[in-house]
Amino acid sequence: MKKHGILNSHIAKVLADLGHTDYIVIADIGLPVPEGVPKIDLALTYGVPSFRDVVQIIADDMEIEQITIAEEMMGQNRETFAYMQQEFAHIPLSTCSHEEFKRRSQHAKVIIRTGESRPYANCILHAGVYFGANAQ
């Protein structure tokens, strides 16, 4: 039995299979999932699990090179935007329109749906390369 990290076998497999520049989407309850893109649905009820909880747990287990959010988050979900800026200050944060975000979601390795019910609580996590703690 797995002892550390993400216990959800579907998410653990997706993360283990990511290559450099592949990406995943962490989504609120309303983001449409494009046909052909796998969905891991974690939503239990409104707000559970939260976007923050899922992003943080995945970020602890994933080498993230860049994060993309919709511009609309900045004005219509300031609390989540502030969280993203603060929590991931060391990672480049890019923005695009929500419509462009949805187009980019078509190429995600997976969309992980949370129970988040605040608008525009979505992000694209771009995989980086981890060479280990002792890499030079």
Residues in binding site: 28, 98, 120-122
Give me the catalytic one of 4, 10, 20, 90: 20
Binding-site residue ranges for substrate: 28, 98, 120-122
Would you call 20 a catalytic residue per the annotation?
yes
> Bridge-partner residues for 67, per DSSP?
93, 125
Spatial contact of 107 and 38, defined as CB atoms under 8 Å apart: no
- Beta-carbon contacts of 104 under 8 Å, excluding residues fewer than 6 positions away, are 68, 96, 124
One-letter amino acid identity for 44?
Answer: L
Question: Annotated active-site positions, please?
Answer: 20
